[in-house]
Amino acid sequence: MCTSVCKTINGIFLFGRNLDLDYDFGEGVVVLPVGYALPLRHTEALGERLGCAGVGCIADGYPLLAEGMNEAGLCAAALDFPCMGRYADGCGDGLINLAPFEVLPYILGYCRSLDEAREVLSRCRIVDTPLSDKIKNTKMHYHIADRTGAVAVEIEGEQVKIYDNPFGTLTNAPDFSFHRDNMRLYSALEDRAPHDKGALFTNGVGALGMPGDYTSPSRFVRSAWLCARLKAEVGCEEAALGSVMGAVAVPRGSVTNASGKSHYTRYTSLLSPEEHSYTVFRCGTLTPSRYKIEKELLSGSSPSILRF
């Protein structure tokens, strides 16, 4: 369970993500500097990379990202996609062959814009190569965005499907085409109060019927509807997007998975590429951790991790 959203508010592009899990994976803000030579299993790395940063961990010496942004303003997130899609069994000739865990650092490292990301992904094959014998692949789909728009990216064997995402949000399974069609069921929801001012309930009645549970389709509808109407005072844009993330966050104890563990929002991240800032709210605290992703931090040659 995860939710990501993007929105331009008062001319400022922002990207947010809730990561919902039942365990700690040693996460922090991972910084991949310009000089880092990204090791790839099936494809030769290109020239100098863009600097990027994102929440994740370093496992077996490799930077694993859950989401992130680069210095050019492109943002991306990988979200759990259980029981859907599949990775390719082998590499393709003349293609950019990537393992699933390489997708985010590659796209953020070599694409300056959403248009460039589209073009690169159209030449990719995502191969089912695990990081190690102990760390297997999980099925993921991807939300990639900049201030010009957003796409959802899903893998069907040898095919990389790229969907325009006018909603600016992504959750989990079913696939994006389901979520797109499901939104039509809620087209009558509105933010306006009824004309009868004497009614017992007035403000908020227009949104009666909006799903309030924590399933993937419900979180998609709720976050998409809220983002479409989101407004903020100048200087309060990040807080406004944070309120949307809060509306789809999973409180600890409200969802118990099949293993009997609490599945909850471990953190909320708010990315502001134009401000070069990365803000993380951990579960159980109202005090954020804020990081400035500036050139000094991106000038090294090896990845580093900033603990929350």
Phi, psi of 174 (to 5 degrees): -70, -170
Q: Three-class SS of residue 258? A: coil
Per-residue confidence at 16, pLDDT binned at 50, 70, 90?
very high
DSSP symbol at 188: T
Closest to 292 measured CA to CA, from 279, 272, 276, 303? 276
- Look-up of token digits 């859907």: 84
Q: What is the mean pLDDT of residues 141-150?
A: 98
Check residues 232 and 45 and name the one with the higher pLDDT.
Answer: 232
Residue 244 burial (C-beta neighbours within 10 Å; 0-12, 13-18, 19+): buried
Over residues 70-93, mean pLDDT: 94
- Is residue 196 predicted with pLDDT exceeding 80? no
pLDDT above 80 for 193: no
User: CA 103, CA 17: separation in Å to the nearest integer?
Assistant: 18
**Per-residue pLDDT for 89 more than 80?**
yes
**Predicted pLDDT at 46:** 73
Neighbours of 80 (CB within 10 A): 19
SS3 147: coil
The terminus-to-terminus CA distance of the chain in angstroms comes to 21
Rg of the chain over Cα atoms, rounded to whole angstroms, equals 19
d(CA 301, CA 225): 42
Given a cut of 90, whether residue 44 has pLDDT beyond it is no
Coil, helix or strand for 204? coil
pLDDT beyond 80 at 197: no
The pLDDT score that the predictor gives to residue 198 is 59
Looking at residue 43, what is its pLDDT? 87
Q: How far apart are CA 302 and CA 93, in angstroms?
A: 30
Query: What band does 83 get if pLDDT is binned at 50, 70 and 90?
Result: confident
DSSP state for residue 24 in the 8-state scheme: -
Dist. CA 288–CA 10, nearest whole Å: 23
pLDDT at 75: 98
The pLDDT-based confidence of 165 (bands split at 50, 70, 90) is very high
Q: For residue 219, what pLDDT band results from cuts at 50, 70 and 90?
A: very high
pLDDT surpasses 70 at 192 = yes
DSSP state of 51: P
- Percent of the chain scored above 70 by pLDDT? 97
Domains of the chain plus CATH, in order, are: 2-173+249-307 (3.60.60.10)
Banded model confidence at residue 134, pLDDT cuts 50, 70, 90: confident
Closest CA to 2 of 281, 293, 214: 214
